[in-house]
Amino acid sequence: MEILGIDIGGTGIKGAIVNIETGELTQERFRVVTPEGAKPDPVAQAVAEVSQHFNWNGPIGFGFPAAIQHGVALTAANISKKWMGTDVAGLFSRATGCPVCVLNDADAAGLAEMQFGAGRDQNGVVLIVTIGTGLGTALFTEGVLLPNAELGHIEINGQDAEIAASDAARKRNDLSWDVWAKELNLYLGTLERLLWPELIILGGGVIKKRERFLPLLTLKAKVVPAQFLNDAGIVGAALSARSLVP
């Protein structure tokens, strides 16, 4: 069974058709640049472009950078604040002409990793952290997702954690890998003392450079890279929409 998964980020919107029985992309993913300002209508137009690229007519799953409740955005991280209170599911359904399911983007990545990737068959508490423009988190206990765990926004030393520990912060502040790894370690260590996960899975685009920072982390939990790398959000988004299949 195939479903289109679309992952919406602060800089790019990427999608692919996914075999939800295996987690494999059945076609090469397609990416468009996130419209400047990331406001609702331009993003909806970009989403329609991705859907049209695949000539898609069926359920679509979306990973979206916000806390989502019943298809409505409650927050807006690294996108326009105009999304807050917007019926994202309704907007994207109208734009694509398809039934849609929308969930938090980190939750989508977590679903992929827990179903097919680094968290498969893992018991206990598992924390997934996606590191990119911001810090996304997904939290699972015995394989069950706690939705909208926006732990990238916890306060450390008086500021939002992702201001110092995201990959965007590394680039913005021109930090060496050693210096940035200390910021990331402080962030992950804080979460570890609050949640005591048995496994921490790190994903996002920066994981391609994992050899530069993973050996520098000093945590009690086992830390592993996401197996889906930067495609986890696409795969998990598709998985979330399987309930829409007739």
Structure tokens, 202: 């790190």
User: Residue 52: which CATH number?
Assistant: 3.30.420.40
In this prediction, residue 133 carries a pLDDT of: 82
Same domain, 163 and 80: no
Q: Are 16 and 234 in contact (CB under 8 A)?
A: yes
Whether 30 is in a domain gets the answer yes
In this prediction, residue 229 carries a pLDDT of: 79
Q: Are 15 and 63 in contact (CB under 8 A)?
A: no
pLDDT tens figures, 20-39: 999 999 999 999 999 999 99
Same domain, 238 and 169: no
Residue 37 amino acid letter: G
Same domain, 160 and 220: yes
Q: How far apart are CA 200 and CA 202, in angstroms?
A: 6
Whether 10 shows a pLDDT value over 90: the answer reads: no
- State phi, psi for 197 to the nearest 5 degrees: -70, 150
Same domain, 25 and 77: yes
Q: Where do the DSSP E strands lie in 158-240?
A: 159-160, 199-203, 222-225
In this prediction, residue 3 carries a pLDDT of: 98
Q: Are 134 and 167 in contact (CB under 8 A)?
A: no
Same domain, 237 and 222: no
Same domain, 130 and 101: no
Region of 202 please: left (phi>0), alpha (psi -120 to 50) or beta.
beta
Whether 173 is in a domain gets the answer yes
Whether 154 is in a domain gets the answer yes
- Taking residues 7-15, report their average pLDDT: 92
Confidence band, pLDDT 50/70/90 cuts, at residue 72 = very high
Whether 83 shows a pLDDT value over 90: the answer reads: yes
Q: How far apart are the first and last CA of the chain?
A: 11
What's the full length of the chain, in residues?
246
Residue 119 vs residue 230, higher pLDDT: 119
pLDDT tens figures, 135-184: 999 999 999 999 999 899 999 999 999 999 999 999 999 999 999 999 99
In this prediction, residue 39 carries a pLDDT of: 97
Same domain, 210 and 147: yes
Same domain, 96 and 135: no
Q: How many domains in the chain? A: 2
Same domain, 96 and 141: no
- State phi, psi for 64 to the nearest 5 degrees: -130, 140
DSSP string of 105-124, one letter each residue: HHHHHHHHHHHHSTTTT--S
What's the distance, CA 229 to chain centroid? Answer: 11
**Predicted TM-score of the model (pTM):** 0.90
pLDDT tens figures, 229-240: 778 899 999 999
Same domain, 157 and 240: no
pLDDT tens figures, 196-205: 999 999 998 8
Whether 43 is in a domain gets the answer yes
Domain span at residue 145? 118-226
In this prediction, residue 243 carries a pLDDT of: 87
In this prediction, residue 100 carries a pLDDT of: 98
Residue 102 amino acid letter: V
- Taking residues 40-45, report their average pLDDT: 98
Whether 77 shows a pLDDT value over 80: the answer reads: no
Residue 148: partners with Cβ closer than 8 Å, 6 or more residues away: 67, 68, 69, 74, 104, 107
Integer angstrom CA distances of residue 229 from 36, 37, 116, 152, 204: 25, 26, 12, 19, 6
User: What Rg, from alpha-carbon coordinates, does the chain have?
Assistant: 17
Whether 112 is in a domain gets the answer no
Same domain, 136 and 47: no
Q: How far apart are CA 235 and CA 177, in angstroms?
A: 29
Same domain, 90 and 149: no
Whether 17 is in a domain gets the answer yes
In this prediction, residue 164 carries a pLDDT of: 95
- Of 4-8, 9-13, 92-96, 101-105, minimum mean pLDDT range: 9-13
Coil, helix or strand for 196? Answer: coil
- State phi, psi for 15 to the nearest 5 degrees: -145, 165
